[in-house]
Amino acid sequence: MKLPRSLRRRILAGLLASLVLALGFIASRAYLHSPNRGLPYRDSFAKGRANEWKAFGGTWELVNGVMRNDSDERGAKLLSGSPYWRNYSIEADINLLGISGDAGLVIRSANEEEGVNAYSGYYAGVRTLDNALILGRAEHGWMEVVKQYPTPGGIRPFQWYHLKLLAYDCQIVAAVTTPSQATPTSLGINDPDCVHSGRVGLRSYSSGGIWRNVLVRPATYQDLVETLKSGRGPGDSEARDTALPDSESLGLQPRQEQQKANVRSNANTQIIASLRLTSFAMPATATVRGVVILTAPLLFVQDSTGGVYIPQPTAPLLKVGDEVEVTGEVHPGDFSSTLEHAKVQVLWARTPVPPVSVTASQASTGRYDATFIEVQGRLAAKERGPDNTLILDLDEGPQSFRAILNPGRSDYLFSKLKLNSSLRLRGVCVVDAAFTRNLTPFVLLLRSNEDLEVLAGPPWWSTGHVIAIVIASLLLALVVNFVYNRIAHWRLQGVLEERQRLAHEMHDTLAQSFAGIGFQLQAIRNGLPDGMPTLHQQLDLASNLVRHSHEEARRSIATLRPEALESEDILSALDYCARRMVEGGPVQVVSEREGDERPIPLRIADTLYRIGQEAIANAVRHAHPTILKVRLTYSGNAVCLQIDDNGTGFTQGGGLLGFGIRGMRRRAESISAAFQLQSKPGEGTRIQITASLPPRMTLVSWPKLLWKYVWGHWIDGRPTKHADSHSYRG
């Protein structure tokens, strides 16, 4: 069978749309999984941006346009890039900050975790311990495959080296250029069971380090061959032909590597706490010995008795954990001292000192000024400070304080940290007004992002969340109420449709059968001879019964049909019904409306109409009135239907409450309406039905109405009268 043209067009359009969506999905997936997406990549360290890098251990921070890790942690990593990068190279300038560790580059990294060699990938670095270029593979463990010894000079700390690491298929190549060797030293491995793709990273082991000029770009087989031959790939012609720049290019004074056995320590050193005993009137020169706890924005040195400020020292390139001797002019303060015009001598590198765990109230006393501490607090506010620093306002109980984080990788923290979070912070406690600005008792200077730990997010039961829950609950209750009313309306609509069907069925069967029987009886009577009076009388009686039954059937059909309410209001429909019943008779019909007219729910309107029909029919049939009044009154949130007649009336309680009155009372109860009947013999009858209407919704009244609804339906468990009046009960 041939499909219609419109249907064929719809099927074709659906197939084309599905094809476009499928192609779009395939294209987007191919783009996201592309091994060259985001390449070439060059770092933005010189611009002070490194948000795309993620740290696993260490104290990674941007300082003077270079990435620096002051920590001697074993296996600290900083990673970036796409996990789908496959054949590419990474190169960078590297400066070691330790005399017994290594620093280098990671390629094809995957499954990273914090910990020693806790990743899958390849690593190449320069190591001071044996003056070697090393290359190996990490698989949550370390396997050093090959190493080479650059000559002359070997690998020394505090000098710049240019390191390149390249991966093509399963061949990994590394090359290093030293300051004293223009020709690079290279080495390579072929790993049959290789890691095929992964991210790039910076890594150090038992030593701090500095990285700059990180460049990642796609690699070819020709790049692999040229790196093995000369250590340079395409585009390296503009690279260094001689020695690379050393620490002096950054404005830093180079230092000689010093072994602990060869260090000459000043015998006249004193403890840092004793500096406060110096006279204000006659500043003296003193020498102290301690461990570096912070290098920027000021140099801080700490020993077992306290800490000291050292502004603008004459010093070599320092890192956190270096043990130093400082000689300078003492300026004692209220809680700690400052060494002006100081000279710093590095004794040896050691493990950074652990923080002292204190409370904010203890730190606010000034006792821990210039000391490396650990404190907890609740984040009350955050803002950008001068030079793009991140300023955190925190509270611990009644005590407030501030924490300052240097610019660099702190950008991602600004969006990550949420107000009212519980934080643990490690940093140097400072009570100097230059930092506190007399706003808080002390300020905590953090060394890096890793000195900040989120203990817990903001409490869920905040003011904003409670307000949101209340609003959401109110909206949900409104939606439930709307759906409930719509379901009730649909049920009533189904009942009305069923009534319509029954009315048509009765009209087509029962009413027509009565009409046919009456016609046949009349035909039989007309055919009988006149001399049979008894039979004529019986046929007349049967015809009258059939006619009466036919009229009752018609009235029932009219009662079942809802067309009257579909086109008219209740009062007009009842007025039409009454006038049709008394048409041609002496009864006068009077219709009245009082109050401000407003919409009536379909359930209530239908019930009032049925009760009114029954009351009018009873009055016309039994009371023989001359005046019939129909009154509809609107008052507040209620509507009242009143049917009055001046007929014969009856005595209430006399056993005359027939099926019609009982039916009216049950109908009124079905909508929780009040039904009243008043009648006396000779004084007529009054029937009054008062039903509640939905309250008018206003900005002022809707919360109260909603509370009544929620309480009546869900809390108290007893539906309100108003709510029940709009439900449907079969």
Per-residue pLDDT tens for 160-203? 999 999 999 999 999 998 887 778 888 888 888 899 999 999 99
Phi-psi region of 402 (alpha: psi -120 to 50; beta: other; left: phi over 0): beta
Question: Do 78 and 225 belong together in one domain?
Answer: yes
Question: Do 63 and 80 belong together in one domain?
Answer: yes
Structure-model confidence comparison of residues 291 and 550, the more confident one: 291
pLDDT at residue 406 tops 60: yes
Question: Do 113 and 167 belong together in one domain?
Answer: yes
HSE-up of residue 282 (Cα within 13 Å, Cβ side): 0
Six-digit token pair at 485? 């009313």
Asked whether the CA dihedral 247, 253, 256, 257 is positive or negative, the reply is negative
Question: Do 294 and 422 belong together in one domain?
Answer: no
Structure-model confidence comparison of residues 640 and 315, the more confident one: 640
Residue 616 lies in a domain: yes
Selection from 87, 155, 154, 151 nearest residue 122 by Cα:
87
SS3 187: strand
The model's confidence at residue 729, banded by pLDDT at 50, 70 and 90, is: very low
Structure-model confidence comparison of residues 268 and 372, the more confident one: 372
SS3 84: coil
Q: Which amino acid, residue 273?
A: A
* Contact between 255 and 316 (Cβ < 8 Å): yes
**DSSP class of residue 585?**
S
SS3 292: strand
pLDDT at 505: 76
pLDDT at residue 115 tops 50: yes
Question: Do 515 and 640 belong together in one domain?
Answer: no
Question: Do 372 and 390 belong together in one domain?
Answer: yes
* Contact between 620 and 628 (Cβ < 8 Å): yes
* CATH number, domain containing residue 294: 2.40.50.140
Question: Do 149 and 83 belong together in one domain?
Answer: yes
Question: Do 617 and 657 belong together in one domain?
Answer: yes
The model's confidence at residue 510, banded by pLDDT at 50, 70 and 90, is: confident
**What is d(CA 175, CA 105) in angstroms, rounded to the nearest whole number?**
11
* CATH number, domain containing residue 198: 2.60.120.560
pLDDT at residue 622 tops 60: yes
pLDDT at 676: 92
**What is d(CA 158, CA 210) in angstroms, rounded to the nearest whole number?**
9
Place of tokens 């590095």: 346
Mean of pLDDT over the chain: 81
Percent of the chain whose pLDDT exceeds 90: 28
Residue 361 lies in a domain: yes
Residue 256 lies in a domain: no
The count of other CB atoms within 10 Å of the CB of residue 202 is 28
What are the backbone dihedrals phi and psi of residue 504, each rounded to the nearest 5 degrees, phi first? -65, -40
Q: Which amino acid, residue 505?
A: E
> Edge to edge, what strands does the sheet with 199-205 contain?
54-56, 74-80, 199-205, 102-110, 120-127, 132-139, 142-148
pLDDT at 650: 83
Structure-model confidence comparison of residues 263 and 598, the more confident one: 598
Across 343-347, 422-426, 461-465, least confident range: 461-465
Six-digit token pair at 460? 């869920």
Residue 307 lies in a domain: yes
- Number of structural domains in the chain: 5
pLDDT at 199: 94
Per-residue pLDDT tens for 60-105? 888 888 998 888 888 889 999 999 999 999 999 999 987 778 999 9
Question: Do 205 and 345 belong together in one domain?
Answer: no
The model's confidence at residue 528, banded by pLDDT at 50, 70 and 90, is: confident
pLDDT at 710: 57
In our burial notation (b when 16+ CB lie closer than 10 A, e otherwise), range 588-614 reads ebebeeeeeeeebbbbbbbbbbbbbbb
The model's confidence at residue 721, banded by pLDDT at 50, 70 and 90, is: very low
The model's confidence at residue 708, banded by pLDDT at 50, 70 and 90, is: low
Question: Do 399 and 305 belong together in one domain?
Answer: no
* Contact between 295 and 320 (Cβ < 8 Å): yes
Of 413, 428, 456, the position where a domain reaches its end is 456
Domain that holds residue 494: 460-561
In the chain the first and final C-alpha atoms are separated, in Å, by 47
SS3 330: strand
* Contact between 161 and 94 (Cβ < 8 Å): yes
Phi-psi region of 332 (alpha: psi -120 to 50; beta: other; left: phi over 0): beta
Residue 718 lies in a domain: no
The answer to whether the bond into 703 is cis (omega within 30° of 0) is no
Strands (DSSP E) contained in 436-499 are 443-446, 452-456
Question: Do 434 and 490 belong together in one domain?
Answer: no
pLDDT at 377: 94
Q: Which amino acid, residue 384?
A: R
The whole-number average pLDDT for the span 322-330 is 91
Six-digit token pair at 366? 């000034």
pLDDT at residue 155 tops 90: no
How would you classify the pairing of strands 399-405 and 443-446?
parallel
The model's confidence at residue 632, banded by pLDDT at 50, 70 and 90, is: very high
Residue 6 lies in a domain: no
Residue 725 lies in a domain: no
The whole-number average pLDDT for the span 687-693 is 92
* Contact between 690 and 457 (Cβ < 8 Å): no
Of 292, 318, 349, the position where a domain reaches its end is 349
Question: Do 325 and 383 belong together in one domain?
Answer: no
Residue 630 lies in a domain: yes
* CATH number, domain containing residue 665: 3.30.565.10
Per-residue pLDDT tens for 116-131? 888 999 999 999 888 8
Q: At what angle do helices 533-560 and 463-506 cross, to 10 degrees?
A: 160
pLDDT at 709: 59
**What is d(CA 393, CA 377) in angstroms, rounded to the nearest whole number?**
9
pLDDT at 712: 57
Place of tokens 């690998």: 155
Q: At what angle do helices 463-506 and 602-618 cross, to 10 degrees?
A: 40
pLDDT at 538: 83
Per-residue pLDDT tens for 644-677? 999 888 887 655 456 678 888 998 998 889 999 9
pLDDT at residue 233 tops 50: no
The model's confidence at residue 409, banded by pLDDT at 50, 70 and 90, is: low
**Burial level of 404, CB count in 10 A (0-12/13-18/19+)?**
buried
The model's confidence at residue 257, banded by pLDDT at 50, 70 and 90, is: very low
Of 513, 546, 561, the position where a domain reaches its end is 561
